[in-house]
Amino acid sequence: MRAMVVDDSRAMRTLLRNLLKSTGLDVVAEAGNGIEALAALKAAGTVDVALVDWNMPEMNGFEFIQAVRADDTWTAMRIIMVTTESEIEKMTKALEAGANEYIMKPFTKDAIRDKLQLLGVIG
């Protein structure tokens, strides 16, 4: 399974990349904002799951989800919003836009693993 991490924090990208690798996923792309993420996604080809932050410069995570879901190429890609945004309205908005799951920062390794299992990305 192939994964990508989209977050404007280099430290968070590293943390998530290492966590995903520890579950057996191949992290094929990383990006610091939605614009970089779209370019990385096109270059990477098939990506099974993306972990995406909401608050980023240039194109935020919500806008990235909208762009991805508007393109049939990535219909099967699962998206987990990983963010500090805790308002129920934002969670609902992200899920309605096409995110498959939503997880709050700070998170535990087990919480990420649970979401990946729930989506069928890992066993």
pLDDT, residue 17, reads: 96
Which domains can be identified in the chain, with CATH numbers? 2-116 (3.40.50.2300)
Helix extents (H) in the chain: 10-22, 34-44, 61-69, 88-97, 109-118
CB contact at 8 A, 6 and 53:
yes
In this prediction, residues 11-29 reach a mean pLDDT of: 96
- The predicted model scores a pTM of 0.95
117 pLDDT higher than 90 = yes
87 pLDDT higher than 90 = no
Model confidence pLDDT, tens digit, residues 22-78: 999 999 999 999 999 999 999 998 999 999 999 999 999 999 999 999 999 999 999
CB contact at 8 A, 119 and 81:
no
- Which has the closest alpha carbon to 69: 81, 57, 58? 81
